Amino acid sequence: MESSRKITARNGHEIILRPAVPEDSAAILRTIKSPAPERSYILAEQVGNSADAERNYLASLDTEKSLLLVATENSEVIGVLAVVQADQGKRHEAAGGAHIGLHISDGHRGLGIGSGMLAYATEWAVARGFTMLDACIFTTNMVSLNIFKRAGFSEENLKLRKIRFGNECIAEVCVVKCLD
């Protein structure tokens, strides 16, 4: 599998998908923390609180068990996808699974970038022997949920009160894709 890939977004712009490097740390933080009505808690848990912390995380990343993929347009990071091995591979029965978090910056959604990133991540996971991918998505984020469903993920469970925003409890649906 190639390390970088070019895709054409629906607006005709060329997007480069590639594994993140430590020099991307500040741009990754900006992208993930960019305004969005929905957030991926998996991504939020994986990034550091500072560019230095993120740079250290990227430098120490075991690229056989984890992937931090960026989508760039004109060298600007506009999307981030994380694949993290379930239970960090510590439990044999869960070692074949991985969790995915995806965030596309506002203004770049709905252009097929997320679908391209999921295809890349699926190929990466298959090449490393993973047998299952999962993601948990807030039910208020139907766009993201539909991207995962189009990529072959199916709903597995629903957490009715996953997170609270103000006075409102938001549900979360977990989706799974078997790779074998």
- Between the alpha carbon of residue 111 and those of residues 13, 38, 66, 178, the distances in Å are 9, 18, 26, 26
Q: Specify the pLDDT at position 30.
A: 84
Q: Which domain holds residue 40?
A: 5-178
Task: Say if residue 15's pLDDT is above 50.
Answer: yes
Instruction: Quick: pLDDT tens for 36-75.
Output: 544 444 444 444 566 677 666 666 667 778 899 999 999 9
Show Cβ contacts of residue 29 under 8 Å, excluding neighbours closer than 6 positions: 47, 48, 50, 51, 54
Show Cβ contacts of residue 33 under 8 Å, excluding neighbours closer than 6 positions: none
Instruction: Quick: pLDDT tens for 84-102.
Output: 888 665 666 666 899 999 9
Query: What one-letter code names the amino acid at 44?
Result: A
Instruction: Quick: pLDDT tens for 111-127.
Output: 999 999 999 999 999 99
22-31, 49-58, 78-87: range with lowest mean pLDDT: 49-58
Q: Specify the pLDDT at position 93.
A: 62
98-102, 132-136, 138-142: range with lowest mean pLDDT: 138-142
Strands 76-85 and 132-138: unpaired
Rounded CA gap, 28 and 13, in Å? Answer: 20
Task: Say if residue 161's pLDDT is above 90.
Answer: no
Strands of the sheet containing 5-8, edge to edge, are 5-8, 14-19, 66-73, 76-85, 97-104, 132-138, 168-178, 154-165
Number of domains in the chain: 1
Q: Specify the pLDDT at position 32.
A: 81
Rounded CA gap, 26 and 58, in Å? Answer: 12
Q: Specify the pLDDT at position 39.
A: 47
CATH code assigned at 123: 3.40.630.30
